[in-house]
């Protein structure tokens, strides 16, 4: 039950199937991929280090460095190189005795043990087997976004990741021509999970570097991608680009998964129309759960596209939890709540990281939600994002979905800001499609759909919204921005 075993099984099961391309364009089969990982692992072992850090976009360095670290018996730690240099330095200070792998155009801080991506792919061949790793040894360490404090380092074991992969896909399940277009940054759990599951399934990986909607559309067509994963902001930008350029066509994807943040219903409804022949999957998970724990599958999406009212309502859910994962809703004291009641979401299973704050095996996710009688999990948002106005709890996502249906609105974030009379007021930061839109028009639009209580007391028209490197809109930054103004 170790990460290298996933690659070894793939290389034995389908050795001649294409796996990825080296930076110089040389194609690697799964057998060659395994051999390249073994060579890179020997190179890393020779550096006498305790972990492997990756500073890179989503390039071919990611799948090789991830497996090479595990092959060498060392934790793999992808770090956000887009941060300011001093922030990167602070994170690396917390990772002593690391070998830093950097890709072209990304400079590693001086004084550190380094390997560049060219060396990963040119190291002399080696026939070393993987280091013996215990199931409970750390395989991957990931920094959280740290929007409310210093980034926290979450450790995932070989057992966590192996359980996730084997519980999610079958060995060799992919067709021989399948290709995953990988646009998620390496420091996001979705990127790590995509590499591992694609390897085990036998799917070719096409890392595309830094994401833009135009580059993504070109790469999807040129590489004949069949599968992809996008966070909601990425998908919204792809849809906007398709709308702007009538000469562009949506790529012929077989499967498009989304997750990483709440998906506004207007966005997924647009996507179902634009990618009418594509199977959609909503994947919900956390870093602490080794990626996906619940899925809303293609059948639910297709039924919604056909107008089934139950399925349309379920577009607001993240689907059902995977086999091997348990979910429950509890009150603030940790007492389980009945079916249909709203509360705090807790998860349990072999995928859940040790030391992540789990009590009795149950991890409190920080999300609010409810589970209906059919087992569908509906999220209400982050517990600390709920707006409490005059004693009433208001979910920002409900208001955002309504605002996004206004024809002039491209993006929106709704937050609560302090108010001496009401406790909090509802505030909305709105980005228009073009030109501008009057704040009062937005307020009237919401009032007509949701009533006065949920109508934003404050609307600010902005050119852009704050955004993290993984495409999330940090409500804390929006809240600070609106409160200051």
pLDDT of residue 434: 79
pLDDT of residue 53: 96
d(CA 443, CA 431) in angstroms, rounded, equals 14
The mean pLDDT of the chain is 91
Kindly tell me if the per-residue pLDDT of 392 is higher than 90: no
pLDDT of residue 149: 56
Give the model confidence (pLDDT) of 36-63 as tens digits.
999 999 999 998 899 999 999 999 999 9
pLDDT of residue 356: 57
- Angle at the Cα of 248 from the Cα atoms of 242 and 253, rounded to 5 degrees: 80
Give the model confidence (pLDDT) of 395-444 as tens digits.
888 899 999 999 999 999 999 988 877 888 899 999 998 778 999 999 99
- Is residue 14 within 8 Å of residue 202, measured between CB atoms? yes
Domains and CATH numbers, the chain: 3-314 (3.40.50.12780), 386-484 (3.30.300.30)
Mean pLDDT of 330-344: 93
Q: Count how many Cα atoms sit within 13 Å of the Cα of residue 126 in the half-sphere of its side chain.
A: 22
pLDDT of residue 484: 74
d(CA 317, CA 260) in angstroms, rounded, equals 14
- Is residue 206 within 8 Å of residue 20, measured between CB atoms? yes
**What DSSP character marks residue 220?**
H
**What DSSP character marks residue 80?**
-
Q: Which tokens sit at 1?
A: 């039950």
Mean pLDDT of 325-349: 94
Q: Which tokens sit at 213?
A: 């909607």
Mean pLDDT of 235-259: 92
Give the model confidence (pLDDT) of 154-184 as tens digits.
999 999 999 999 999 999 999 999 999 999 9
Kindly tell me if the per-residue pLDDT of 465 is higher than 80: yes
Q: For residue 347, give the nearest of 366, 332, 333, 374 by alpha carbon.
A: 366
The contacts found for 450-457 with CB under 8 angstroms, 24 or more apart, are: 450/398, 450/399, 450/402, 453/389, 453/390, 453/392, 453/394, 454/394, 454/398, 454/399, 454/426, 455/426, 456/399, 456/414, 456/426, 456/427, 456/428, 457/419, 457/425, 457/426, 457/427
pLDDT higher at 145 or 317:
317
Kindly tell me if the per-residue pLDDT of 320 is higher than 60: yes
pLDDT of residue 148: 45
Give the model confidence (pLDDT) of 241-250 as tens digits.
999 888 888 9
- pLDDT class of 394 with cuts at 50, 70, 90: confident
pLDDT of residue 145: 62
Give the model confidence (pLDDT) of 136-160 as tens digits.
999 999 998 644 457 889 999 999 9
């Amino acid at each position: 039950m170790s990460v290298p075993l996933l690659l070894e099984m793939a290389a034995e099961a389908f050795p001649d199937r294409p796996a990825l391309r080296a930076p110089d364009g040389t194609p690697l089969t799964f057998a060659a991929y395994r051999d390249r990982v073994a060579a890179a692992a020997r190179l890393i072992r020779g550096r006498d280090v305790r972990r492997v850090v990756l500073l890179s976009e989503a390039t071919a360095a990611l799948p090789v460095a991830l497996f090479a670290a595990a092959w060498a018996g060392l934790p793999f730690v992808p770090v956000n190189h887009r941060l300011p240099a001093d922030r990167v330095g602070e994170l690396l200070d917390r990772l002593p005795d690391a070998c830093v792998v950097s890709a072209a155009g990304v400079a590693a801080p001086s004084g550190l043990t380094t390997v560049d991506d060219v060396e990963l792919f040119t190291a002399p061949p080696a026939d070393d087997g993987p280091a013996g790793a215990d199931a409970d040894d750390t395989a991957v360490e990931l920094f959280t976004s740290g929007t409310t404090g210093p980034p926290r380092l979450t450790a995932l074991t070989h057992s966590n990741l192996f359980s996730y992969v084997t519980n999610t896909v079958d060995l060799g399940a992919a067709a021989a021509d399948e290709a995953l277009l990988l646009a998620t940054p390496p420091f996001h759990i979705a990127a790590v999970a995509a590499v591992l599951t694609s390897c085990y399934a036998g799917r070719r990986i096409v890392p595309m570097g830094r994401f833009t909607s135009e580059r993504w559309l070109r790469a999807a067509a040129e590489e004949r991608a069949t599968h992809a994963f996008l966070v909601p902001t990425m998908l919204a930008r792809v849809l906007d680009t398709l709308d702007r350029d009538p000469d562009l066509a949506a790529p012929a994807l077989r499967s498009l998964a989304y997750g990483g943040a709440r998906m506004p219903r207007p966005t997924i409804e647009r996507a179902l129309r634009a990618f009418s022949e594509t199977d959609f999957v909503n994947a919900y998970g956390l870093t602490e759960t080794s990626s996906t724990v619940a899925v809303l599958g293609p059948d639910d999406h297709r039924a919604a596209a056909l107008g089934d009212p139950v399925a349309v309502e379920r577009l607001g859910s993240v689907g059902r939890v995977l086999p091997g994962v348990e979910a429950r809703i509890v009150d603030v004291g940790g007492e389980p709540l009945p079916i249909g009641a709203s509360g705090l979401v807790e998860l349990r299973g072999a995928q859940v990281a040790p030391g992540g704050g789990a009590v009795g095996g149950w991890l409190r996710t920080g999300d609010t939600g409810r589970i209906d009688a059919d087992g569908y999990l509906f999220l209400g948002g982050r517990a600390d994002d709920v707006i409490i106005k005059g004693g009433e709890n208001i979910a920002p996502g409900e208001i955002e979905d309504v605002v996004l249906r206004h024809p002039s609105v491209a993006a929106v974030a709704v937050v609560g800001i302090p108010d001496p009379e009401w406790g909090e007021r509802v505030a909305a930061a709105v980005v228009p499609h073009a030109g501008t839109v009057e704040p009062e028009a937005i307020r009237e639009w919401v009032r007509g759909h949701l009533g006065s209580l949920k109508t934003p007391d404050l609307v600010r028209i902005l050119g852009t919204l704050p955004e993290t490197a993984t495409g999330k809109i940090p409500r804390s930054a929006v809240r600070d921005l609106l409160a200051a103004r």
